[in-house]
Amino acid sequence: MPRLKTSMKDLKKAKKNRERNLSLQKAFKKEQKKIERLITAGDANKLAAEADNYVSKVDKAVGKKIIRKNTASRIKARFLKKIHTFSKTGAAKKSE
């Protein structure tokens, strides 16, 4: 335990920030898993509705410094690539 009063306050603040960051990280990962499930399930309607929401969540995570900017761009690029390939294969399945 710290002896100085400011050190105690810093410890308290660090714990509070850690809890907040962990809850934001959990929410972000939950959203990622939700999107992955929609892609594997092949539900195009729900996926289109959730795509903008997911991208905004990624941007918010960057703003709150949960993930880094380059990581966010990589995540979004991979996500959009998956959607693009899904829409191509989904369109091919509908035409058959």
Residue 47 CA to residue 39 CA, distance in Å, equals 7
Residue 64 structural domain: 5-95
Q: Could you tell me which of 58, 55, 71, 74 has the C-alpha nearest to residue 25?
A: 58
Tally of domains within the chain: 1
Cα 21-27-28 angle, rounded to 5 deg: 90
Confidence of residue 15 (pLDDT cuts 50, 70, 90): very high
Instruction: Supply the pTM of this predicted model.
Output: 0.69
Segment 53-71, tens digit of pLDDT: 888 888 988 998 888 999 9
Confidence of residue 42 (pLDDT cuts 50, 70, 90): confident
Kindly report the CATH number assigned to the domain that includes residue 53: 1.20.58.110
